[in-house]
Chains A and B, each alone.
Chain A
Amino acid sequence: DAGVIQSPRHEVTEMGQEVTLRCKPISGHNSLFWYRQTMMRGLELLIYFNNNVPIDDSGMPEDRFSAKMPNASFSTLKIQPSEPRDSAVYFCASSDRGGIDTQYFGPGTRLTVL
């Protein structure tokens, strides 16, 4: 298995632009998580899906952030409009028993908003 796949690996955009991050979880996993990592705040959970249904989005910073999981093999995290403070590394992770079991992380997308 190729593991969790994220794209793009790096994204540089200007303030106000729309940004879409993509994730393909490990086949057969039924839980998908989006995290954001910064030096100041560490690794923070943004949103969590179970069987393609959003379970908890309380970590999403504001309405500019949205996430979808249209099927078991694909999820997107969208920021519209983007702001410089959104600059961070965004990780996607998947597991087959929610947070109880091992979470497998993707390589991350490094987002820079100018």
Chain B
Amino acid sequence: SQKIEQNSEALNIQEGKTATLTCNYTNYSPAYLQWYRQDPGRGPVFLLLIRENEKEKRKERLKVTFDTTLKQSLFHITASQPADSATYLCALLSGGGADGLTFGKGTHLIIQP
């Protein structure tokens, strides 16, 4: 069955360091992968989209890589700040023919001052 795995344990990072979050998937051949941020009591907010033929995408302090051989995406936040503390969700374009996204359960990131 199709599965998306993100580290379910909270990730604690010291302010100023680079935070790296992992998204692994199985039984998928996604054409697109997206990363979203979700704060408590709010809906997810889109951050970055990367296509299967792209190895890396950057946006300000954010960087996403996409390795279709390893079936893995890495999400990096450089020079992390306490305001970056949130839950980060990866999402794949559903393989069932629909255009709805299939989300991982997310990783809770805590940036400690």
Contacts of A43 in B (CB 8 A): 44, 89, 103, 105-106
| Secondary structure of the B contact surface, majority rule | loop
B13 within 8 A of A: no
Nearest CB of B to A33, in Å: 5
A102 (CB) vs chain B CBs: closest residue: B46
Partner of A55, one of B43, B89, B99, B105: B99
Partner of B100, one of A4, A99, A104: A99
Q: A31-B99, A45-B101, A59-B100 are in contact. Are A107 and B43 (CB under 8 A)?
A: yes
Contact status B96-A58, CB under 8 Å: yes
| Secondary structure of the A contact surface, majority rule | strand
A25 within 8 A of B: no
Contact status B98-A56, CB under 8 Å: yes
- Chain B interface residue count, CB cutoff 8 Å, equals 24
Nearest CB of B to A42, in Å: 4
User: How many A residues touch the partner, as a band?
Assistant: 20 to 34
Q: Which of B9-50 contact A (CB under 8 A)?
A: 31-32, 34, 41-46, 49
Contact status B100-A56, CB under 8 Å: yes
Contacts of B68 in A (CB 8 A): none
A75 within 8 A of B: no
Contacts of B102 in A (CB 8 A): 45
Contact status A33-B43, CB under 8 Å: no
A103 within 8 A of B: yes
Q: Which of A32-61 contact B (CB under 8 A)?
A: 33, 35, 42-45, 48, 50, 55-56, 58-59
Nearest CB of B to A45, in Å: 4
A-B contact pairs, 28 of them (CB 8 A): A4-B43, A31-B99, A33-B101, A42-B104, A43-B89, A43-B106, A44-B103, A45-B94, A45-B101, A45-B102, A48-B98, A48-B100, A55-B98, A55-B99, A58-B96, A58-B98, A59-B100, A91-B43, A91-B44, A99-B93, A99-B101, A100-B32, A100-B93, A101-B49, A102-B34, A104-B46, A105-B45, A107-B42
Closest 4 CB pairs of A and B: A105-B43, A98-B99, A56-B98, A99-B99
